Structure 1
Amino acid sequence: MLAGDLPGFHRALRDELRFPLAWGTSPIRDFGTWRRTARAKVEELLLVDRQDDTPYDPEFTDRAEADGYTRERVTVSLTRYARVPGALLTPHGTGPFPAVLLLHDHGSRFDIGKEKLVRPWYDDTRLASARQWARQCYGGRFLGDELARRGHVVLCLDALGWGERGPLAYERQQALASNLYHLGSSLAGLLAREDERAAAFLAGLDRVDARRVAALGFSLGGYRAWQTAALGDAVTAAASVCWMTGLKGMMVPGNNTLRGQSAFHMLHPGLARYLDIPDVASLAAPRPMLFLNGGRDPLFTPEGVRAAHARLRAVWDSLHAGERLRTELWPDTGHDFTVRMQEEVFAWLDAAP
């Protein structure tokens, strides 16, 4: 029998999830050894080869000056399969500068990707959509432009299906994910690999201070931010807005995850047999991490967020690095990245070691 989109025995399946590889549950007591072991398991389940040393071979075009920074289009090889378009913003002045890998959201809006966060000076046809999205989700700001004006190199790229790599349609997401599984690959795994490679590319630029490379995103972008920090070492700090909870807190009737579609961008098959969501994020410890969540966010219950935050806190505290982790639940905020939240993130980025 079925219970909506869940099998009738879903509670039994959920109760069997013990997350035996989690830090504190695993018999491994040395954190460095645990991280190598747990990261290797996640790497295995991404289904996308990590050993891809394809040259980035960046191509820079459409250079234009703005108020306090320079804009460039960049096209780069993140894997051996495709060239990926993006926007690169560099502050005026003498570098190297701190940098932010800016990761766009999902939002079921696919005609724009990087343009959700960087004003598309190169494409008037996407400008109206970009402005509308900035008003809807970011308080009217283009977050990348704001960061560049404040002294950060900013890189933002299109994920597969968005902007110049789409547009995908909402109802086609499961077919895309299924076809990648048939081909021995994974939609979520490809996204994770590309983000990891993008961070390494950004950190390797001469204009960037590799000691200060942050990942930042909202919604799916927030998930991508902590995941990138967890899977690679190029990111030195990460800020995630409106994406953190535990798996059991999501797998309940009525949750958006049960609809499939967007879930496939975050679904690594079999991972729940080993690690919960905050356990994966904990692979980034003890680096500085910021998690801001909305108390009125319809996608994540406050109880699920608090439980995940507590799980993260236990890891950082066990490493005597509690001051490097900041977790907040904003009671009057929904699924939004408000200007007030942005200012908190900007201040945190400036202060992060």
Structure 2
Amino acid sequence: MRDHGIGRRRFVTGAAAAALAAGATGEQAAAAEPIGGNLPDFHPLLKAELDFPLAWGRSPIRDFTAWRRAARAQVEELLLVDAQKDVPYEPAHTDHAQGDGYTRELVTLSLTRYERVRGALLTPDGPGPFPAVLLLHDHGAKFDIGKEKFVRPWYDDTRLASAQAWADKLLSGRFVGDELARRGYVVLCLDALGWGDRGPVAYEQQQALASNFYNLGSSLAGLMAREDARAAGFLAGLDRVDPGRVAAVGFSMGAYRAWQTAALSDHVAAAASVCWMTGLREMMVPGNNTLRGQSAYYMLHPGLARHLDIPDVASIAAPQPLYFLDGADDTLFTAEGVEAAYDRMRTVWRSRRADDRLRTEIWPGLGHVFTDRMQDAVLDWLDDVL
């Protein structure tokens, strides 16, 4: 029987896939040195089909309020986790301690009907009500700490050592949550599933964890999205908080969570995202970290790319103030992807005559970090918009 090659070559990774896409023979492609990937050999055809028909400007919906409502509804449908709106938070407060101009406490609450979640809650000294920040931690393949990446863990010396090392590596030694509280913001930071009190998950377990969510008719990324939106609602509902001045702030995966929460929650008045924004087409290239799977599942809503690009989802938050900071030398996101996303969002905010409410920056000489200078820029921006 003649073999026409059908059914034999279905999956080629990295440089081999790129060679095939450029027209190289199978032998030439197989000889190319892989640079990481796991892309199917026909991935250029799949990317060519991504026209994001629900994006603002492409969608037949011309009224922005109606478009925003339709786009959010589409995202929410694909989260596979319901909104959990009727679940009482039932907060329990413990481990009170005094900080430098603010009080610290742990709060345990129900973000969903599935489990209780513990977080750090910081409140400035004084009468209030105060502006507030929902702090959203990164991934970093470091799971022993979650909320402790942003808030100094006064309650656990072991976690303090780990958290300080993380802050020294990526945050110029600072605990961003404590800086915010000293500056007059109520701060809430909770563990995402897999980190801190809800972990630690092992790196190689993430993919199985996500697939089992799918097997159970649910979604790991959808759960995180719903929990973050619920956390924003809890924070806005505190007596000590001015509900009209709540922001979401995050770094890396937390940056994704910040703009996503701004898109999905009316409780968020502004968001600052450090080192997570790109266009989808530009991200799905050989060598990109997303192609490894694993951590990608925390930010993967199946089928969403048939409707909206990544910056289109963030644009659901328009015309609220959003601030994006990315490092020019960040190897996780191509410069082309960052610029494409920025351009797309600028078009949306401009259409709302709100150009001044969208701030996009690429910091030269910086990689995937949230340095003290970047933190100061975010803090100053929060003071301005809140």
TM-score band by shorter chain is over 0.9
Equivalent of 2:337 in 295, 304, 319: 304
Structure 2 residues without counterparts, runs of 5 or longer:
1-8, 14-37
1:38 aligns with 2:47: no
The one-letter amino acid of 1:91's match is: P
Match of 1:342 among 375, 380, 383: 375
Partner SS, residue 6 of structure 1: coil
1:112-127 aligned within 5 A:
112-127=145-160
Sort the Cα spacing of 1:158 and 1:51 in 2 relative to 1 into closer, same or farther, 3 A. Answer: closer
Note the C-alpha offset of 1:303. 1.1
CA–CA distance in structure 2, aligned partners of residues 53 and 78 of structure 1? 10
- The CA distance in 2 between the partners of 1:67 and 1:265, in whole Å, is 35
- Out of 135, 155, 168, the residue aligned to residue 201 of structure 2 is 168
In structure 1, what is the equivalent of residue 306 of structure 2? 273
Q: Structure 1 regions of 5+ residues with no counterpart?
A: none
Alignment-derived partner of residue 199 in structure 1: 232
- Partner amino acid for 2:370? F
Deviation at 1:12, TM superposition (A): 0.3
Is contact 2:119–2:190 with CA below 8 Å preserved after alignment?
A: yes
Structure 1 Cα separation of the partners of residues 366 and 339 of structure 2? 15
Please state whether the residue corresponding to 1:323 is helix, strand or coil: helix
Residues 221-260 of structure 1 aligned to structure 2 (within 5 Å): 221-260=254-293
Larger Rg: 2
Equivalent position amino acid for 2:335 in 1: P
Q: Which residue of 2 aligns with 1:25?
A: 58
Q: Which amino acid aligns with 2:351?
A: S
Give the alignment partner of residue 283 of structure 1, picking from 303, 311, 316. 316
Q: 1:68 aligns with which of 101, 124, 129?
A: 101
The answer (yes or no) to whether the contact 2:84–2:112 under 8 Å persists in 1 is no
Equivalent position SS for 1:49: coil
1:210 is matched with which residue? 243
**Alignment partners' CA distance in 2, 1:239 and 1:280:** 15
Cα distance, 1:332–1:282 mapped onto 2, change above 3 Å: same
Amino acid at match of 1:278: P
Q: Is the 8 A contact 2:324 2:359 kept in 1?
A: yes
Shift of 1:178: 0.6
Deviation at 1:52, TM superposition (A): 3.5
By how many angstroms is 1:51 displaced? 4.4
The match for 2:213 among 180, 196, 201 is: 180
Look up the SS of the partner of 2:244 in the other structure. Answer: strand
Name the SS for the 2:246 alignment partner: strand
- The residue type paired with residue 274 of structure 1 is H
Q: Deviations over 1:5-55 (max 9, x none)?
A: 111100000011000000000010000000111110100000001243110
Report how far residue 124 of structure 1 moved: 1.1
In 1: Cα distance, 2:85 partner to 2:144 partner: 29
Work out whether residues 222 and 301 of structure 2, in 8 Å CA contact, stay in contact via their aligned partners in 1.
yes
> Residue in 2 aligned with 1:145?
178
How many angstroms apart in 1 are the aligned matches of 2:312 and 2:123?
A: 34
Q: 1:103 aligns with which of 121, 136, 151?
A: 136
Q: Is the 1:52–1:80 contact (alpha carbons within 8 Å) kept by the matching residues of 2? A: no
Structure 2 counterpart of 1:87, which letter? A
Distance in 1, matches of 2:161 and 2:302, equals 38
Matching residue's letter, 1:101: L
Amino acid at match of 1:296: D
The answer (yes or no) to whether the contact 2:132–2:246 under 8 Å persists in 1 is yes
- Matching residue of 1:3: 12
Corresponding residue number in structure 2 for 1:92:
125
Q: Which secondary structure state, in structure 1, belongs to the residue aligned with residue 57 of structure 2?
A: coil
% identity of equivalent residues: 73
CA distance in 1, matches of 2:191, 2:12: 36
Q: Secondary structure at the match of 1:342?
A: helix
TM-score by length of 2: 0.91
Q: Tell me the amino acid that sits aligned with residue 219 of structure 2.
A: S
AA at the equivalent of 1:108: A
1:94 deviation in Å?
1.3
CA contact (8 A) 2:151 2:176 kept: yes
Return the alpha-carbon distance in structure 2 between the equivalents of residues 114 and 282 of structure 1: 27
2:55 aligns to what SS in structure 1? Answer: coil
| Comparing 330-339 and 272-281, the one that deviates more | 330-339
1:104–1:117 contact (8 Å) kept in structure 2:
yes
8 Å contact from structure 2 (residues 221, 301) kept in 1: yes
